[in-house]
């Protein structure tokens, strides 16, 4: 198939786009497709819905290869193929962007300013894939050429073996084109311009306190000190999370800000509150995920409580508080990623409360890089601190294991990492857990998705690496069966 986009608005889809996942799709691909839909919801104004009785819908099948038509051009089930080997989130996004009206990035009419196509190195029957789509057929919407677009071919795409087929004019991008992580920020920008919208289906807020801004958040205290906006704290952290220093200790960009509530000179039970603006749930599922980074250098009995305050209507100024999560225990030595599932059904705001516990404290709690979305939280996270030091240590074990985690159904598992200098292996292992006697065994058709999180703190701008496998005793993954028996 031929990132420029179509200019014929008559072949754009209406959101939400109806779809059917055909029975010939394997279960793993179906799960990946649903995760890709969530990325569209998070980053753009495009939504998808299972087909009811619409004449115009996308029929996703497991045909030969990965391909799609461009735009809405066929009624009664427009085919889109996610064939064998195509079940990754980036490939799914790529094909659905075609269906939504995207050409390949290197097909832009201005592509010769950015890349050189080596036609002598292209397979004869694939040369048409590299044609330019003229300005009479397509538009760039004024978005700059994007070497990191998920719609860009890789340097050796369809090579006949005689060398690369695409040479970037900027050599720094030669080994980066053809990335298959996720949609880039420019992909999303152009998608929203194509469909004339600038909102997101599932994104509620991001706040990194950049340039000292509060993101419409308010602070108050109930006795003692309140939240402060700072650039560093004695005893840690020495910088915000958004602009963490690199391995040499150099600060990224300008020194950033974060919020800090001290428990050092207050009485037991004193608290400081930080509240977001009011927000309204938009999706029918009434699921939200709060993500933020925290740093704890106070007493192990101090608490960081996460609340939601729900309001009956616009006239309700008091609302009702619900405790959704709590962080307490030993201090940390790094910024730590944390997720809290929420379930607001009415207008709400999120409130962070730092409460002084028993005993002496020499610090408090810090938070930074707050994200809120209307998507499900991950079942678990594994943060490996000092990873570069670990990688360069000669006695690093062959496998590093995460703590025991639990799925939403109660299955216990752990993740194993095989660190190497050039790449690494990731494994998931079912382990014994407290709910084993209540669960169904064996447990086929359960999907594991491991995501290596992009360091961009804004989840709308992240391009993370995701790998999904589904437990199936009849399938081999890299020569190994996926065992699903009771551990």
pLDDT digits (tens, 9 = 90+) for 77-89: 999 999 999 999 9
Contact of 146 with 114, CB cutoff 8 Å: no
- Active site (catalytic) residues: 95
Instruction: List the domain boundaries for the chain.
Output: 5-195, 203-373, 387-481
> Binding site for Zn(2+): which residues?
94, 98, 104
SS3 call for 99: helix
Return the pLDDT at 397: 78
Nearest C-alpha neighbor of 270 from the set 356, 366, 353 = 356
Q: Is the pLDDT of residue 1 over 90?
A: no
Phi and psi (nearest 5°) for 39? -70, -40
The pTM (predicted TM-score) of the whole model is 0.93
Given the candidates 1.10.645.10, 2.60.40.10, 3.40.470.10, 2.60.210.10, the CATH classification of the domain at 387-481 is 2.60.210.10
Residue 481: band (very low, low, confident or very high) from pLDDT cuts 50, 70, 90: very low
- The reply to whether CATH 3.40.390.10 applies to domain 5-195 is yes
- 92 phi-psi bin (left φ>0, alpha ψ -120 to 50, beta other): alpha
The pLDDT tens digits of the residues spanning 309-334 come to: 999 999 999 999 999 999 999 999 99
The pLDDT tens digits of the residues spanning 418-451 come to: 988 888 899 999 999 999 999 999 888 899 999 9
From CA 315, how far away is CA 293, in angstroms rounded? 33
The pLDDT tens digits of the residues spanning 243-302 come to: 987 555 555 556 799 999 999 999 999 999 999 999 999 999 999 999 999 999 999 999
Given the candidates 2.60.120.200, 3.40.190.10, 1.50.10.20, 2.40.50.40, the CATH classification of the domain at 203-373 is 2.60.120.200
Helix count (H) and strand count (E) of the chain?
Answer: 4, 28
Q: Is the pLDDT of residue 463 over 60?
A: yes
From CA 236, how far away is CA 257, in angstroms rounded? 13
From CA 306, how far away is CA 470, in angstroms rounded? 33
Question: 295 forms bridges with which residues in the sheet?
Answer: 366
């Amino acid at each position: 198939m031929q990132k420029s986009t179509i200019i014929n608005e008559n072949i754009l889809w209406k959101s939400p786009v109806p779809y059917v996942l055909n029975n010939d799709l394997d279960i793993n691909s179906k799960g990946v497709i649903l995760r890709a839909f969530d990325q569209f919801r998070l980053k753009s104004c495009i939504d998808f819905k299972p087909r009811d009785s619409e004449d115009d819908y996308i029929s996703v099948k497991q045909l030969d290869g990965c391909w799609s038509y461009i735009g809405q051009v066929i009624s009664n089930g427009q085919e889109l193929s996610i064939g064998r080997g195509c079940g990754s989130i980036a490939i799914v996004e790529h094909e659905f962007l075609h269906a939504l009206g995207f050409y390949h990035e290197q097909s832009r009419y201005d592509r010769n300013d950015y890349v050189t196509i080596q036609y002598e190195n292209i397979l004869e029957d694939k040369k048409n894939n590299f044609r330019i789509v003229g300005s009479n057929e397509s538009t760039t919407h004024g978005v700059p050429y994007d070497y990191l677009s998920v719609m860009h071919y890789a340097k050796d795409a369809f090579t006949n073996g005689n060398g690369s087929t695409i040479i970037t004019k900027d050599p720094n991008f030669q080994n980066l084109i053809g990335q298959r992580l996720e949609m880039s920020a420019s992909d999303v920008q152009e998608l929203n311009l194509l469909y004339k919208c600038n909102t997101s289906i599932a994104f509620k807020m991001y706040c990194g306190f950049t340039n000292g801004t509060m993101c419409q958040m308010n602070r108050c205290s109930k006795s003692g000190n309140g939240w402060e906006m700072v650039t560093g704290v004695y005893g840690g952290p020495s910088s915000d999370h958004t602009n963490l220093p690199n391995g040499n200790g150099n600060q990224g960009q300008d020194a950033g800000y974060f919020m800090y509530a001290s428990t050092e000179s207050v009485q037991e039970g004193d608290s400081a509150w930080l509240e977001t603006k009011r927000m309204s749930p938009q999706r029918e599922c009434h699921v939200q995920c709060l993500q933020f980074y925290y740093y704890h250098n106070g007493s192990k009995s101090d608490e960081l409580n996460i609340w939601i305050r729900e309001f009956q209507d616009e006239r309700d100024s008091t609302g009702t508080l619900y405790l959704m999560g709590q962080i307490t225990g030993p201090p940390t030595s790094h910024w730590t990623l944390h997720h809290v599932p929420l379930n607001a059904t009415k207008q709400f705001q999120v409130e962070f409360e730092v409460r002084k516990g028993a005993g002496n404290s020499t610090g408090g709690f810090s938070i930074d890089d707050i994200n809120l979305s209307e998507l499900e939280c991950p079942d678990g996270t594994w943060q490996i601190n000092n990873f570069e030091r670990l990688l360069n240590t000669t006695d690093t074990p062959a496998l590093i294991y995460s703590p025991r985690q639990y799925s939403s159904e109660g299955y216990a598992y752990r993740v194993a990492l095989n660190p190497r200098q050039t790449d690494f292996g990731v494994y998931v292992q079912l382990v014994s857990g407290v709910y084993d006697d209540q669960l169904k065994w064996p447990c086929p058709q359960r999907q594991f998705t491991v995501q290596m999180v992009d360091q961009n703190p804004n989840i709308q701008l992240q391009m993370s690496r995701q790998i999904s496998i589904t437990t199936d005793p009849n399938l081999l993954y890299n020569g190994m069966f996926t065992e699903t028996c009771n551990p």
